[in-house]
A and B are shown apart, each in its own frame.
Chain A
Amino acid sequence: MVKSFASGLLALGAAATLLSGTATSAWSFELKGEPKVAFIYAAAAKDGGWNEAIDAGRAAVEKDLGLTVAVAENVPEDATKLRAAIDLFVKRGFNIIVGTTYGYSEPIAEAAKAYPDVAFLNASGTTNGPNLESFYARTYQGWYLAGIAAGSVTQSKKLGMVAGFPVGVVNWDANAFILGARSVDPSIETVVVYTNSWWDPVKEGQVAEAILDQNADVLATDLSSTSPLAAAERRGASSVGYQLDMSHAAPEGILTSVVFHWDRYLVPTIKSITDGTWTPQEYGAFEGIDNGVIGLAPFGKRVPDAAKAKIAEVQAKMVAGAFDPFTGPIEKQDGSVAVPAGEKVSDEALWSMDYFVKGAIGTMPAAQ
Chain B
Amino acid sequence: MLDGLVITRRFDTPTWLLALVFLAGIAAGLAMATALLVAIGVPASALFNEVIGEAFMTASGLAQTLTFATPLICVGLSAAVALRLRFWNIGIEGQLWLGALGATAVALGDVGPEATRLPLMLVAAALAGAAWIALPLVLKLRLGVSEVISTLLLGSIAFLFAQHLLFGAWRDPATGFPISLAFDASERLAALGFGRTHLGLPIALAAALLVWFLVDVTRLGFYGRAVGENIEAARAAGVPVIAVTCAFVLLSGALSGLAGGLIVAGTEHRMSLTLGAGYTFSGIVIAFLGRFRPLATVVVAVIIGGVFTASDVFKVFYGISEAVVVLLQGLVLFGVLVAQFFGAYRISRANWGASA
Q: Which residues of A contact B (CB under 8 A)?
A: 1-2, 4-7, 70-81, 83-85, 87-89, 91-92, 102-103, 105-106, 126, 165-169, 171, 196, 348, 351-354, 365-368
Considering only CB atoms, which chain B residue lies closest to A86 in the complex? B316
Q: How far is it, in angstroms, between the C-alpha of A367 and the C-alpha of B164 when the chains are bound?
A: 10
Answer yes or no: B313 CB below 8 A from chain A CBs: yes
- In the bound complex, residues from chain A placing their C-beta under 8 Å from that of B60 are 87, 91
Q: Is the pair A365, B167 in contact by a Cβ cutoff of 8 Å?
A: yes
- In the bound complex, residues from chain A placing their C-beta under 8 Å from that of B167 are 165-166, 196, 365
Q: Which of B121-129, B145-153, B175-183 contacts A (4 or more CB under 8 A)?
A: B175-183
Q: How far is it, in angstroms, between the C-alpha of A7 and the C-alpha of B60 when the chains are bound?
A: 36
Q: How far is the CB of A69 from chain B (nearest CB, A)?
A: 13
Q: How far is it, in angstroms, between the C-alpha of A319 and the C-alpha of B178 when the chains are bound?
A: 32
Q: How far is it, in angstroms, between the C-alpha of A304 and the C-alpha of B272 when the chains are bound?
A: 45
Answer yes or no: B268 CB below 8 A from chain A CBs: yes
Q: Is the pair B168, A76 in contact by a Cβ cutoff of 8 Å?
A: no
Could you list 12 A-B pairs, sorted by A, with CB under 8 Å?
Answer: A72-B315, A73-B315, A79-B268, A80-B67, A84-B309, A88-B317, A105-B179, A126-B172, A126-B175, A165-B167, A351-B174, A353-B176
Answer yes or no: B64 CB below 8 A from chain A CBs: yes
The verdict on A4 contacting B172 (CB below 8 Å), with A73-B319, A102-B177, A165-B178 known, is yes
Q: How far is it, in angstroms, between the C-alpha of A163 and the C-alpha of B312 when the chains are bound?
A: 32
B 159-190 to A, binary, CB cutoff 8 A, 1 in contact else 0: 00001000111011111111101101000000
Q: How far is it, in angstroms, between the C-alpha of A307 and the C-alpha of B258 when the chains are bound?
A: 59
B 311-334 to A, binary, CB cutoff 8 A, 1 in contact else 0: 011011101011000000000000
Q: Is the pair B176, A81 in contact by a Cβ cutoff of 8 Å?
A: no
Q: What number of residue pairs across chains A and B have CB atoms under 8 A from each other? A: 112
Give the number of chain B interface residues (Cβ < 8 Å).
38
The verdict on A365 contacting B168 (CB below 8 Å), with A88-B316, A351-B175 known, is yes
Answer yes or no: B27 CB below 8 A from chain A CBs: no
- In the bound complex, residues from chain B placing their C-beta under 8 Å from that of A76 are 274, 277, 322
Q: How far is it, in angstroms, between the C-alpha of A74 and the C-alpha of B67 when the chains are bound?
A: 20
Q: Is the pair B312, A126 in contact by a Cβ cutoff of 8 Å?
A: no
Answer yes or no: B293 CB below 8 A from chain A CBs: no
- In the bound complex, residues from chain B placing their C-beta under 8 Å from that of A165 are 167, 178
Q: Is the pair A5, B174 in contact by a Cβ cutoff of 8 Å?
A: yes
Q: Is the pair B168, A83 in contact by a Cβ cutoff of 8 Å?
A: no
Q: How far is it, in angstroms, between the C-alpha of A367 and the C-alpha of B168 when the chains are bound?
A: 5
The verdict on A367 contacting B268 (CB below 8 Å), with A75-B315, A76-B274, A87-B60 known, is no
Q: How far is it, in angstroms, between the C-alpha of A89 and the C-alpha of B317 when the chains are bound?
A: 9
Q: Is the pair A85, B175 in contact by a Cβ cutoff of 8 Å?
A: no
- In the bound complex, residues from chain A placing their C-beta under 8 Å from that of B248 are none
Q: How far is it, in angstroms, between the C-alpha of A70 and the C-alpha of B317 when the chains are bound?
A: 8
Q: How far is it, in angstroms, between the C-alpha of A354 and the C-alpha of B172 when the chains are bound?
A: 12
9 extra interchain contacts, Cβ-Cβ under 8 A, other than A76-B322, A87-B60, A106-B270?
A4-B175, A83-B196, A87-B64, A88-B313, A102-B179, A165-B178, A166-B176, A168-B176, A365-B168
Considering only CB atoms, which chain B residue lies closest to A9 in the complex? B174
B 254-282 to A, binary, CB cutoff 8 A, 1 in contact else 0: 00000000000001111010110100000
Q: How far is it, in angstroms, between the C-alpha of A117 and the C-alpha of B133 when the chains are bound?
A: 48
The verdict on A102 contacting B175 (CB below 8 Å), with A84-B64, A87-B64, A88-B317 known, is yes
Q: Is the pair A73, B321 in contact by a Cβ cutoff of 8 Å?
A: yes
Answer yes or no: B68 CB below 8 A from chain A CBs: yes
- In the bound complex, residues from chain B placing their C-beta under 8 Å from that of A168 are 175-176
Interface residues of B in 203-236 (CB under 8 A from A): none
The verdict on A77 contacting B274 (CB below 8 Å), with A1-B181, A365-B168, A366-B168 known, is yes
The verdict on A352 contacting B182 (CB below 8 Å), with A88-B316, A365-B167 known, is no
Considering only CB atoms, which chain B residue lies closest to A353 in the complex? B176
Report which of A5, A81, A351 forms a contact with B312, defined as CB distance below 8 A: A81
The 9 closest A-B pairs by CB, nearest first: A4-B174, A167-B176, A168-B176, A6-B174, A72-B316, A84-B312, A80-B267, A77-B274, A74-B322
